[in-house]
Chains A and B, each alone.
Chain A
């Protein structure tokens, strides 16, 4: 399986990726300590890490990470296609030169949006 963002196949991040459940709502305690829950539902959030990307791989990835609106996303370990958004304030890039070549490390959070 491949990593596809916005219909574009990008280099696979480091596998396994970290996938967390995010709940849009609140758990609170009733007077007797029992749990009450209100929420509009939960969805997935991935933290993806790429290491040692070439400039071409990096450019392909950044083109889809720069999209601020909802797009499709297929994580590397599964075939499900999610609607998701790139959380722009989580994008982190380390650029370095090794043996005369340019390499990039990228970290980003992607969250299921609908």
Chain B
């Protein structure tokens, strides 16, 4: 939302659209009383010490419900087929805001794209409802998947793979390359968003769905290459902020970080599953068993050791087919008894494969002298990162630890700014905070925000963290194909 369009006085309008039928947007703006949203406050290193759960952006809409339009009990509502029972769950929703420029032209910006998660009747007396929505991660927040093992994947490779599983098209995602190679990646009935977030965390990157619904992955290198992160996109000044607060939290400064990693290697072929109890399959019938591997398997052999007999002990393995679909940590085994009359007793079923071994965790510690905490030789204040299975090499752990300890050792201002909401200020957009009275001016990243559109006022509270010295040698990193050795450029960690 270009500030040149409106100076400091904005004439606004908004539009709430819901795709009730899954095909056509329905404009519900005339029933909208107010809207508000939240992008959760997120700091890269704090995420490293907590759960890897992805925290989505959320949005709420308070609506009038004339003639019980939004009531799931009202069979005469035109929306009844789309909101009765569970029909409304996961309905696409988008919220846009327009500002009128000085020439009278309206400029539209999308503020939120997502899916309906909840419908609440907030007042029966006044026919009011509230719709809660979650960003485009909604279909995947509780989606658990299993995959085979893929080798030597960059974060971009693996995130691309996972987002393709989520049916996110190329045009709907922006994925940085990333700095590391992860030797082995797979999912074992794990949440796909958590897996993506863990992959990003291997190099201090972040993932999110932006306000337009696009999937974004910022890798380590994005902080020196992506203009949104390297160039200030907005200047918060005393003439455009309503209020600002600053917090200098000495408690969150460290002079060291401990990053665990889990090296893995390819082992020798071994037995990875053996049937513990016999399985009976009636004639003409089939049965599926889940064969949990004793170790994650890179390859599952198609040669299956099996003993299948009739009740009388005769071998009928020739009449029984065994089909195996393998993932990293389990195989689905479908046993089909094609015999006309005899029941098949599966006495023995053994799968073998090439496993990954080496789960023992090792760790890298990086320390620096911090102006706040002091020299680690005399005082050690070390942040322990949680175990991330996607950090598998010493080099990856070293890279992450070196990069983060530089950020952690500095007293970093955290700011809260109240100002007119500007939709294009997203997570980790770089902005400038300027107080002309004191001469203070600092670049910062947006780490979270709360916004509202109510009674014509489109307001936001932004959470910021100082970007000073975020990547210490910005502009001086060696670029392959651009710089020459000995030219004074330095390696990026």
Contacts and interface: CB of A to CB of B under 8 A. Distances in A.
A30 interface: yes
Contacts of A56: none
A37 B9 contact: yes
Contacts of A41: 11, 13, 456
B456 A32 contact: no
A26 interface: yes
Most chain B CB inside 10 Å of its own CB: which residue of A30, A32, A37, A38? A38
Interface string B408-440: 000000000000100000000000000001000
A80 interface: no
Nearest to A35: B8
A31 B243 contact: yes
Given A36-B8, A36-B420, A31 B457 contact: no
Interface string A67-87: 000000000000000000000
A28 interface: yes
Interface string A23-53: 1111011111011111111000000000000
A55 to B, nearest CB: 34
Contacts of A40: 11-14, 456
B287 interface: no
A34 B238 CA distance: 9
A38 B457 contact: yes
Interface in B1-35: 8-14
A26 B457 CA distance: 6
B199 to A, nearest CB: 40
A54 to B, nearest CB: 37
B63 to A, nearest CB: 17
A32 B456 CA distance: 23
Contact of B12 (A23, A28, A39): A39
Interface residues of B, number: 21
Contact of B242 (A23, A30, A39): A30
A25 B242 CA distance: 15
Contact of B240 (A23, A25, A30): A30
Question: Interface majority SS on B: helix, strand, loop or mixed?
Answer: strand
Most chain B CB inside 10 Å of its own CB: which residue of A26, A29, A32? A32
Given A25-B455, A26-B456, A38-B456, A32 B239 contact: yes
A101 B242 CA distance: 60
B101 interface: no
A40 B420 CA distance: 14
B12 A38 contact: yes
B80 interface: no
A41 B14 CA distance: 12
A30 B456 contact: no
Given A37-B10, A38-B12, A28 B242 contact: yes
Nearest to B437: A32
Interface string B362-394: 000000000000000000000000000000000
B470 to A, nearest CB: 26
Interface of A: 23-26, 28-32, 34-41
30 contacts: A23-B456, A25-B455, A25-B456, A25-B457, A26-B456, A28-B242, A30-B239, A30-B240, A31-B241, A31-B242, A31-B243, A32-B238, A32-B437, A35-B9, A36-B8, A36-B420, A37-B9, A38-B10, A38-B12, A38-B420, A38-B458, A38-B459, A39-B10, A40-B11, A40-B12, A40-B13, A40-B456, A41-B11, A41-B13, A41-B456
Given A38-B12, A39-B457, A41-B13, 12 more contacts: A23-B456, A24-B455, A24-B456, A26-B455, A26-B457, A30-B238, A30-B239, A34-B8, A36-B240, A38-B10, A39-B456, A41-B11
